[in-house]
Structure 1
Amino acid sequence: MNPEARIIRTLTLRLIPFLILLYLVAYIDRSAVGFAKLHMNADLGISDLAYGFGAGLFFIGYFIFEVPSNLLLERYGARRWFARILITWGAITVGMSLIQGAYSFYVMRFLLGAAEAGFFPGVLYYITRWYPVRHRGKVLGLFILSQPIALMVTGPLAGALLGLNGLGGLTGWQWLFILIGVPAVLLAWPTLKYLPDTPRDARWLSDSDRQWLSVELEKDRREYGQTEHANPLRALTDRRVLLLALLYLPGTLSIYGLGLWLPTLVHQFGGSDLATGFISSVPYCFGVIGLLLVPRSSDRLNDRYGHLTVLYVLGAIGLFLSAWLSSPVLQLAALSLVAFCLFSTTAIFWVLPGRFLTGASAAAGIALINSFGNLGGYIGPFGIGALKEYTGSLASGLYFLSAVLATGVVLTLVVYTQLEKKALAGGTPERQLS
C-alpha cells in the first residue's frame, strides 16, 4: 500500500466510524418526531399544520445559532464543542417527552435546533482539516451514510418503542423521546476522550504522516486559491458562499420534507406501527447504495456539477411519480429512487465549499451555507403540512417537492456558469460540465 493510501485509510478508520455514530444519534433524535406524530398529535390535539410548523422550527433554531456555533468550534476545538452539543441536544430530546400541546412542541423543537446547531457543519469543517480535496467526496459519502442509516434504524426502533405505550404510565411516544435522547448524553465523554482536534493531536499518526498531510493541504490552498479572511465573518458576504447556499436549499428542503412526512405516507398503505417503521426504512437502503457509489464516481471523474444535475433530474421524476402513482409498491419504488438521489447530492455538494475556503473562513462559510439549506428543513415540512391541510392529500406535497428539485437543476447550471467557468479560465481543475 502506498503512503497516501495508507494515511487516508488510517484517518478514515480512526475518525469516520465515530463521527458516523455521533451523527447517527443526532439524526435519529431529529427525525423520530415523524413517528411520534402518529400518536402524539391525537393525544395532544396537534393538527397537521401545527405539526409541520413545529417540526420545521427545529431548523429556525439551527439557522440562527449555526454560524456562532461553528466559530466557537474553531475557538474551543472539535472534541469539547461536539461534547457540549451532545449533552444539550440529548437532554432536550428527553424533554420532548414532557410537551403538553402545540406551543410546548414549538418551544422544544426550536430549542433542539439551537442545541444541535453547528454539529453537521462542524463535522464538515473538521473533515477539511484532515483530508485533501481529492479524497473528500468519498469520505463525505461515508460520513453522510449516517443519514439514511439513521432513517433505516429509526423506523423499526420507533415502531418498537411506540409499542411501550402504557409502560410506567407513559405513552409510547414519550418513551420514544426518552430512549433516543439518553445515548447522546452518554456519548459526550467518549467524544472528549477519543476525538483529536487536529492532526497534531493524533498520537496514532507519525511525524512523517503529519508532514505529508500538512504539505498536501497546503498544495490545495495554492491549487484552488483557497481564501482565509482576516475576519472570518467576511466569508458570510463572499459571493461564492451565497451562491452555494442557494444551490444547497432544494436538496435539504426535499430530504427533510420527505423524511418528516414519510411515516405518515407509508402509514396510509395500511399496517401496524412496526410495519410502518420497517417499510419506511426501505427507501433509505437505496440512499446507502447511492452514497457508496455516486461520490466515488464524482471523485474519479473530478465532476460535481454534472452529477448534481443528473441527480436532481432523477429525484424530481421520482417525487412526481410517487404522487402520481396509486400502487403502494410503485410508490415505494419511486421513493427509493428519490432517496438514492437526494443523499448522493449532499455528499457531492459538500466538496464544493472546501475547494475555495480554508481555516476559520471555511468554518463560517460552511455554517452559513448549511444554515440557508436548513431553512429548507423548515419550509419542507411546513409546506407539505399546509398543502395537506388545504387539499386533504399528501400527493400535493410530493408534487411541491418535485418542483423544488426541478429548480435545483436550474440552480446547478447557474452556479456552474457563475463560479466554475471562471475558475476553469484560471486553471482550477474541475471537469467541464458535459
Structure 2
Amino acid sequence: MIQEQRLVRLITLKLIPFLVLLYLVAYVDRSAVGFAKLHMGADIGLGDAAYGLGAGLFFIGYFLFEVPSNLLLDRFGARRWFARILVTWGAITIGMAFVSGPNGFYVMRFLLGAAEAGFFPGVLYYITQWYPVRHRGKILGFFILSQPLAMLITGPLSGALLGLDGIYGLHGWQWLFICIGTPAVLLAWPTLRLLPDSPAKVRWLSDEQRSWLQEQLANDLREFGQTRHGNPLHALKDGRVLLLALFYLPVTLSIYGLGLWLPTLIHQFGGSDLVTGFVSAVPYLFGIIGLLIVPRSSDRLNDRYGHLGLLYALGAIGLFLSAWLSVPGLQLAALCLVAFALFSCTAIFWTLPGRFFSGASAAAGIALINSIGNLGGYLGPFGIGALKEHTGQLSSGLYFLAAVMLFGLLLTGVVYNRLERRQRLASTLVAPASR
C-alpha cells in the first residue's frame, strides 16, 4: 500500500526546491530592470513612457515564443529544454549592461522575453506529470514562492549593486545586469545533471510508486473529463483556453505593472537606493505569507473560485488604497495587502487548466493561457508609464490596476458558470455510459 503523503513529500523534496531556485533566478533577471531604471534612464536617455514600453516588450517576446517553446519542451524533455532557456536568458541579461539608447533597450527586453518563454508554463506542465490534481494547489504555492522570494532578494541586492557605480568604469546599473545574469548561465549544467524528464526516468521511485502515480493521473483524466487533443495545437482553438487566459490577465497586469514601478513609488518616500531596495522588499514578505496559507486552504476546502473571488477583491481594495492614501506607512500597508492577494491568486489560478487538459494539450493550453495572460506584463508597465507621464501622478496608474482587478472579480462568476458547470454536466452524461 502506497503512503500517499510520503510519496508526495518525496517528489516535492526532489523537484520543487531546485525549480524554485531556477524560477527565482528568472524572476530576478526580469524584475531588476525596475531598479536599474532609477539611474540608467539618465545615462541612455530613457523617459518614463519609453521605459514602460521597453519593460513591457519583454512580454511581447514571451507571447510570441511561449507556445512553440512548450511544445518543444514536450518533444525534447524538461532538463535539456530548461538548460537551453537558462543559457540564453542569462546571456541576454548580461548583454543588457551594454545597451546605449532606447532602441537597444527595446531590442534586448524583447529578446529576453523570447529567450525565457516557456520556462514558467513549462514548469506548470511539468508539475502536471508528477502530481495528482488534489495536490497541485499546495505544490504550485510552493513553486510560486519563487516570485515574492525573488522580489524580496531583488530589492536589497539591486540597491547594493547600484552602489558599485564607477568600478572598472561601469555604471552601477551595468554591474546589476552582469551580476544577475551570470547565475542563470552557471545553472544550466546542474539542470542537465539533476532534473529528471519524467517519473519513468528516475531511480528514486519504486515500480510500485510509479504505477500508483500513473494510476492517479489516469483517474484525474477520467474524473475531470480532461481533454487530450489528437493534435495539441487544437487546444489553442478551445474556448476554455481563451476564457482562462482572459481570467488570468488582471493578475499578470497588476503583478508586473506594480512590480516594475514599485521601486519608483517607494523611492518617492525618500531615502537612498539601498533603503529603497529594502523597503521595496516588505510587500513581498506578505506575498510569501499568502502563498503559505491560501493555497493550502484552497486544497483543504476543495474550493478554487471562492478563494479567487476574495483575492481579486482584496487586490482591488489594496491597489485603490495605495493610490488614495498619502501617508507612506499606510501606502506600504496597502501594497502589502496587494502582494498577499496577487501571489496567492496566481497559485490558485494555475490549478484550473490541469482540470481540463492533459498531455501535450496541457502543454499547449497552459502556454497559450500564460502567453495571453502575460500580455498584461506589457500593458501594465506601459499603461502605468503612459498615465504617469500624462497626469504627472503615479497614483493614476494604481487606480487603473484597481479597476482591472475588479474586472477579474466579475470574471470569477463567468468562468465558474461557463467551465465548471459545463464540465459537471458532461461528467454526469459520461458516467452512465461508462457503467
TM-score range, shorter chain: over 0.9
Which amino acid is 2:226 matched to? Q
Match of 1:261 in 2: 261
Q: How many correspondences in the alignment?
A: 428
Please give the alpha-carbon distance, in whole angstroms, between the structure 2 residues aligned to 1:320 and 1:76.
Answer: 45
Cα deviations across residues 273-332 of structure 1 (Å, max 9, x unaligned)?
000000000000000000000000101111111111000001100000000000000000
Please give the alpha-carbon distance, in whole angstroms, between the structure 2 residues aligned to 1:2 and 1:193.
Answer: 28
1:57-206 aligned within 5 A? 57-206=57-206
In the alignment, is the contact (CA less than 8 A) between 2:225 and 2:423 conserved in 1?
Answer: no
Percent of aligned pairs sharing the same letter: 76
Which amino acid is 1:207 matched to? D
State the SS of the aligned residue for 1:131. Answer: coil
**How far did residue 267 of structure 1 move?**
0.2
1:303 corresponds to 2:300: no
1:337-416 aligned within 5 A? 337-416=337-416
Which amino acid is 2:152 matched to? M
**How far did residue 420 of structure 1 move?**
1.1
Which amino acid is 1:277 matched to? G
Please give the alpha-carbon distance, in whole angstroms, between the structure 1 residues aligned to 2:177 and 2:100.
Answer: 14
**How far did residue 412 of structure 1 move?**
1.1
1:285-304 aligned within 5 A? 285-304=285-304
Which runs of no fewer than 5 residues in structure 2 stay unpaired?
429-435
Please give the alpha-carbon distance, in whole angstroms, between the structure 1 residues aligned to 2:370 and 2:286.
Answer: 24
Please give the alpha-carbon distance, in whole angstroms, between the structure 2 residues aligned to 1:426 and 1:221.
Answer: 13
**How far did residue 427 of structure 1 move?**
4.7
**How far did residue 424 of structure 1 move?**
2.9
**How far did residue 404 of structure 1 move?**
0.3
Which amino acid is 2:138 matched to? K
Which amino acid is 2:240 matched to? R
Please give the alpha-carbon distance, in whole angstroms, between the structure 2 residues aligned to 1:426 and 1:188.
Answer: 44
In the alignment, is the contact (CA less than 8 A) between 2:56 and 2:378 conserved in 1?
Answer: yes
State the SS of the aligned residue for 1:34. Answer: helix
**How far did residue 2 of structure 1 move?**
6.5
Which amino acid is 1:192 matched to? L
Match of 2:432 in 1: none
Cα deviations across residues 24-72 of structure 1 (Å, max 9, x unaligned)?
0000000000000000001111000000000000000000000000000
Please give the alpha-carbon distance, in whole angstroms, between the structure 2 residues aligned to 1:59 and 1:289.
Answer: 27
1:7 corresponds to 2:7: yes
Q: What is the TM-score when the length of structure 2 is the normalising length?
A: 0.97
Q: What is the TM-score when the length of structure 1 is the normalising length?
A: 0.98
**How far did residue 203 of structure 1 move?**
1.1
1:317-328 aligned within 5 A? 317-328=317-328
Cα-Cα RMSD: 0.9
Cα deviations across residues 322-346 of structure 1 (Å, max 9, x unaligned)?
0000000000000000000000000
**How far did residue 423 of structure 1 move?**
2.2
Which amino acid is 1:356 matched to? F
Which amino acid is 2:101 matched to? G
State the SS of the aligned residue for 2:374. Answer: helix
Please give the alpha-carbon distance, in whole angstroms, between the structure 1 residues aligned to 2:279 and 2:249.
Answer: 27
Which amino acid is 1:106 matched to? Y
**How far did residue 425 of structure 1 move?**
3.2
Match of 1:423 in 2: 423
Which amino acid is 1:57 matched to? L
Deviates more, 1:417-426 or 1:308-317: 417-426
State the SS of the aligned residue for 1:281. Answer: helix
**How far did residue 426 of structure 1 move?**
4.1
In the alignment, is the contact (CA less than 8 A) between 2:2 and 2:212 conserved in 1?
Answer: no
State the SS of the aligned residue for 1:100. Answer: coil
Please give the alpha-carbon distance, in whole angstroms, between the structure 1 residues aligned to 2:112 and 2:394.
Answer: 26
Please give the alpha-carbon distance, in whole angstroms, between the structure 1 residues aligned to 2:97 and 2:194.
Answer: 31
Match of 1:25 in 2: 25
**How far did residue 239 of structure 1 move?**
1.1
Please give the alpha-carbon distance, in whole angstroms, between the structure 2 residues aligned to 1:147 and 1:267.
Answer: 21
In the alignment, is the contact (CA less than 8 A) between 2:233 and 2:361 conserved in 1?
Answer: yes
Match of 1:315 in 2: 315
